Amino acid sequence: MSSPQRRPYVVFGFASTHDALSGEAALVAAGLQLTVMPTPKTLGALCGIALRLAEEDVSLAEETLTRAGVAWSGQVRILDR
């Protein structure tokens, strides 16, 4: 029996709750699938809300956030367990 392949995802962290919620709204409006989650420790002490997206959606997410005027404070690539 082989173990399932671990899939990478990217988490965007935000300095403020307002930025996180605005980012969520912009990404959902663009049709991207995301999960709202607590900010991973690897991103440091941010607002506490982060957005998890599939790795293949990162470029579109960055473009969407930039067009919407939403600044993210960091992002990290993580492998599913």
Q: Kindly report the CATH number assigned to the domain that includes residue 71.
A: 3.30.70
Residues whose CB falls within 8 Å of the CB of residue 36, separated by 6 or more in sequence, listed in order: 20, 24, 49, 50, 51, 52
| φ/ψ bin of 16: left (φ > 0), alpha (ψ from -120 to 50), beta (otherwise) | beta
**DSSP at 59:** H
pLDDT tens-digit profile of 19-64? 999 999 999 999 999 999 999 888 888 889 999 999 999 999 999 9
Residue 18 lies in a domain: yes
Residue 7 lies in a domain: no
Number of domain units in the chain? 1
pTM score, whole prediction: 0.87
Helix (H) or strand (E) holding 47: none
Residue 1 lies in a domain: no
Residue 59 lies in a domain: yes
Residue 1's pLDDT is 55
Nearest Cα neighbor of 14 from 31, 2, 26 is: 26
Nearest Cα neighbor of 49 from 27, 64, 79 is: 27
Q: For residue 63, what are the domain limits?
A: 12-79
